Structure 1
Amino acid sequence: MLSKYSSIEQPLQLVVSLKHWCPVCKIMADQLDLLLSVIFMASPMLGMSPCSSNGPIALFRHCNLTQIPWVLDTTERLLLSFNYISVVNTTSFPFLEQLLLLELGTQFTPMTIGPEAFRNLPNLRILDLGQNHIEVLSPDAFQGLPHLLELRLFSCKLSSVVLRDGYFKNLTSLARLDLSGNQIYSLHLHSSFQELNSLKAIDFSFNKIFPLCEGELKPLQGKILSFFGLKSTSLFSRVSVSWETCRNPFRGMWLETLDLSENGWTVDITGNFSIVIWGSQVTSLILTHHIMGSGFGFQNIRDPDQNTFAGLARSSVMSLDLSHGYIFSLNSRVFETLKDLKLLNLASNKINKISDGAFYGLDNLQVLNMSYNLLGELYNSNFYGLPRVAYIDLQKNHIGVIQYQTFRSLEKLQTLDLRDNALKTINFIPSISMVLLGGNKLADLPRVRFTANFIELSENKLESLSDLYFLLQVPQLQSLILNQNRLSSCKAVYTPSENLSLEHLFLAGNMLQLAWETGLCWDVFKGLFRLRVLYLNSNYLHFLPPGIFNDLVSLQLLSLGANRLTSLSPGSLPANLEFLDISRNQLFSPDPGLFASLSFLDITHNEFVCQCELIPFITWLNQTNVTLQGSPADIYCMYPDSLAGVSLYDVSTEDCDEEEALQSMKFSLFILCTVTLSLLLVTTVTFIKFRGTCFLCYKTIQRLVFKDKVQSSEPSAYQYDAYFCFSSKDFEWAQNALLKHLDAQYSSRNRLRLCFEERDFIPGENHISNIQAAVWGSRKTVCLVSRQFLKDGWCLEAFRYAQSRCLSDLKNVLVVVVVGSLSQYQLMRHEAIRGFLRKQQYLRWPEDLQDVGWFLSKLSGCILKEEKGEKRSSTIPLQTVTTIS
């Protein structure tokens, strides 16, 4: 199992190191080393069969064992967790001289460990018995282990007896002892602890040790311990303590790290404890998850004051961790006595106020962490008294305003972390080497003087590329991060940079496509001769501007992933490129010659068109020595549909040989189709352009051919061919546009007998009677629907009469002509017209004058066309409304 702690039998040489990046990163790197150590130790077990022994490793986890199995005498690691082994004694193990690690934790049954139970394991280095229910533990259980370095007895239900009765005597090599999570109530140590000269770390966390007074830890006096854990033990917080009689439990000891976190300490307990341990050397003091401070909106618990840590004046404390508490206000001179302090962690409190002189006395402080607090404004006096501070972490506050001189007096400041705040300006930035401003509200950058070699501005609101040009001109700048901004605007031509120091540039998650498609800012990377890493992924790029990478002669890694690139031009990539990410684009048939010089290529999840044009790339894919990211299934066809999702490695190219034989025929067909389409397009364009002239020619030819066939009006039962209904306000237009060209009384060339109100209605007769006579006395009724028509009640009444005749005759005798720029919405507002438009077609007066002749001919045909009656139906089908224009 992965134990609570991980140890390494031999030092691991790790390539990755962050220890010189910044003081805080050194701490993080130590944790990374430990994590990687666990991974490296576990890696030999990957692929092993369960319940088996393989060379130096014997893996028997979850095997339902009730006793120790037989293993090879060459075994170095024996892993027996999660079984049912209840008894361990001298005869349980064969003689395993090479065994270094024994993992016997988490047995599902109570365990009894007899005298000298591990004597047959003389070279054992790590013994893990954690998370067992040890019912019986012999005082001599660990005898015969002269080389044991680490003993894990966490969560074993052990009592204080194991400390008082000498259970750990003769373990002269023991360096780490873990007794956390047990039932230990007293730390009275047996005198044999004085003989444990190699002991460096001891952990009593998660026990219930209410008092701890002078004399209990006497066997440890004179020792230097790297770690002493008393986390979550309720120490001094659940009982009344007489500090005068209890006195200093750590007298004569030197503790590199003392963990007193999660004990519910108030300001009073902390102050009394610091006084009691006066003079004891504690390099790193951990007081996390405390209850010091009033919190936000409460006043019942005091914030630390000048006396809280006064007793630590002679303890040489270099690191103080007060994170995860309720401190609301940093009072004046609260840390005044901590002259040696180099790291102060105040993260995850409720700090909203920094009093003047709060950091007075911290002359040697180098790292200050105030992240995850409630700070809203910072003033010039907030950080007085920090002459040597090099790193200030203020991320995840609510800072929106910072006075101009707040950080400028800090002469040694190198790193300022203001990520995830609410800043809108950066005028306060001093001359430092690292600036972290991501996750703020910066919309533009004032032209302040930067001297940083690392600038982080991701997740802001920067839009103009002028800010990028400005930042690229910062001298000595080595790394610039502008991910997830809004860089999209290039309103002018800016002076390109010749930055000879920039090595890393991150521009992912912007909108550079919008800037480059204007043809501007194509020189943004000009002069970046030392740039080695460039991220341009997720920028909506459809193309790469020609020569955009010409000056990037040192570029080794380029990320173009998650864009919309369909192709890459030859020579578009830098010559020295080694790593290319072009995944999640829309590449159809990439040229394999572009990737020949690469060492690493990610081309997964593209939209490959698996046709014969892709043969060179498929051939290269199966033969290349370039390391390809992802599995073969991630490089697949998108088109045609028959191959969608098929890996390129599984695509056959045999059918493409016949394709080559048809290339000449395809070319001939291409030429023929091109000529035919060109002639058709020319003819169509000519007709559309001169359609009015073509119509006149057609009518002239028709008259010449059929000149002897004069159309005569057939005898008809109707007095008129059509009744033209229109608003009196539209009469002049109707007369010039229609009546003069259609009505026989206007010209002998016209053949239609038309009726309209201004001429044919009987004066003095009832207007309704005139309308009724005109509708029923005409073959068709033509309504010229205009804006005035829709306002004229008589016109709408005539429209209804015409609809009534349509229903009576069971045929369409109503022709609607829409005149002017009437929208469909304006027409549908009128109920009668809406019902007609839903079922019948209508005409629209043409906008182009050359279409008038054709329209008049079409209208005449509609008037003279004889409509056949239809049988009535209970339902009327909807017809398509055709607009003629």
Structure 2
Amino acid sequence: MSVKYSIMNLIWLVTCITGGRSAKCPLNSVCTCWKFEGKLFADCSDRSLSKAPTFSDDVIGINFAKNKFSTIPQNLPTSLLHLEMSRNELLSLNSSSFKRYTLLQNLSVSHNILTEMSLGTLQSNSHLKHLDVSYNNLLTLEVMYNISFDLKESQIQTLILEKLQCTYGVSLDIKQYHVIHLKHTQLLELNLASNRINSLEFGVLNALPKSLRILNIADNKLSFGLYIMEFPVLHNLEILNVSFQSSFHQNNLTGQFFDKCNDTKIATHCTCTNDILLDMVVKENDNGNDTSFPRNWNHNTNTNLAADSFFPFSSVYNYRNYTIYLPRNLRKLYFHDNLYKMSIPKLPIGLNNKLTHIFFQRNIIYEIIEPVTGISQLQYADFSGNFCKNISKSFLQLFSKLEFLNLSNNALAPIFENDKESEMFRNQRLLSVLDVSFNRIVHLPERVLQNNINLRHLNLSFNSLSEFKVNVGHMTKLKTLELSNNQLLELDSETRKSLDRLPLNSINIHLFGNNLKCSCETLDFLQWMQNSKNVHFVKMKDYTCSFGRNATASFKDLDTILQKLEKTCSSYTLIMVLVTTLIIITMTTTISRILYRFRWKLRYMYYVAKEKYKEDVDHLEFRRQNSFRFDAFISYADKDRRYIIELVKTLEKDYCLSLCIHNRDFIPGTEIADNITNAIHCSRRTVCFMTKHFLDSYWCMFELNMARMEAIYSRNGQNVLFLVALESGIMKRLPLQLMDLVNSNSYLDFPSDEERTGDTESAIAFTAKLGETLTSD
């Protein structure tokens, strides 16, 4: 959530900008320096330093992370702007620690063992913009007063105070005096995560600067309280993170479980009384500025009484008439992974907000009774993993701009199953992504998504659907329909027709893990799966179907399955059956022989058609006729790569060739056959290095046959396939159907083992011949 500004990040940024050029620093050989815009940045991280080396005056940033400093070095350039001291052994900081570095803008002392940060430590650093004191869990939250007091007239923008308390112990409250001196700064980001904070004293949020844009109070133990009503005073807050509340932090009774907590530490320098704090806070009110802090606050009463005197709904009866106001510029609210077990009643939220994203996943919100009002700008909502069993059908009625909705991993089956009039998603016409997986849904009404015309991705996986009859004909932008891991036997005819009528050319349907049935009743469905041009079944070869009582069949043999079903389901007379059987046998035999005879041609045509399907035909033809991405595709067996890789490097270097090899140039995540076909199709020539390993490899022979088909059917018979015998006599082992390659075309013999290494005449001549061949038109 928070962006931690560190010298390490800055140095890496400079490294990227300068192309990684580095050198030893001018006055010492320990550190590495980068020059950027005439200024030097020194990286001295992870060098076991306990004393600082000498630096020239033009060094403005130093990274001392992961060293052994116990104090802040005092021999650094006084013009220093950035100092990274994280992960050292710093024990305490005082007024002399940074006194000479008055120009500091970025400072990190995180992940040390600090026990004290005295008042005045940062009093000389008025230019400080980014400060990180996180993960010093012996400092405790009381150090906030000293830090805020020192920074009250600074240029501070980012303040990271994460993990100032040890993990286990009694929960704590943030008091006004902790933050009161930050009020008139221009702070943009404040991180108070992982500090066992239980509550905020009423007035704390009002004491924060109005410039604040990011507030992170995640991983604490926050309880509900009237301080929630104070959030609207943070007018410019854009991101609020209150996630991971009351996290268990399980660690198997090791490590942090035995840390000695310093929770009894008392702020010795704070002498602020409540009257002084009040004067400081309400002074802004006297200047005519907006503040919600009560003017009649009395320090002799407790916080709850003071709050009750300010809010008009202090009686039980009046609690029904309340409105929760959000910061008017809040855009993202993170409220996930909390251990709050609760239901959400009617929740009226003030209209004056810009909230677009809410992250409420993995809580324990078991019920949402009434609609949530006031956040009409919402575009992204994640309520997944909440063990929710009941949501009001009017819950979403005011979220008319919602584009992404995740309700997965709940128990909302009864809600969806009974929504016959599309009440749940009635106003979500802009909804693009809907995820209701893992909800134990048994069936869905046809009209449940009737109003969601802009749906692109619908996820219904991991439910218990035995049929899918939801009307999808109006979803003209549908791209993905996720139905995997249900109990589906088939998709009914109306759904199939609706999918075929959709205007898009490719709809991805996931049906893996269903109880698909191969029978006469589902024959039409299986035929549709095979023949549909508008639907792509993702990983269809992994599908299985029940064939009879105990038998199952894989969709790898879908053709065979269909043939069996067609014969089984026939109702012709005996003669017709015999004739049909004879015809089928004859045709099957003939087709099988034809398919076997032309199997490589058919496979080649399939993959070329698949490529054309993905790309614009005109553009593809233009590219084929005018240029190729590679000069040659090099086909070889992995066990022969040692010689081939060296040869490829030589050819690319000496002959300026662009060669394609599978180890380097194939696209990850793409099917091997697609990669091979695309590589051959995009290469001017194909060179096959023949060895016994090559002939024994399925994919090598696939590459050889695909290259042969490319030469015959796409290159008008041009000689684009070259064979290189890497072993003596290997050409005699070629299959008979490939011997024409040897009989009708010459091939090259690779030098013998003794001649392959070194600059022998044979090796040089072979490389030259191959290079000249591949560079010629």
Higher relative contact order (CA 8 A, sep 6+): 2
TM-score by length of 1: 0.44
Larger Rg: 1
TM-score by length of 2: 0.49
Structure whose residues are more often helix by fraction: 2
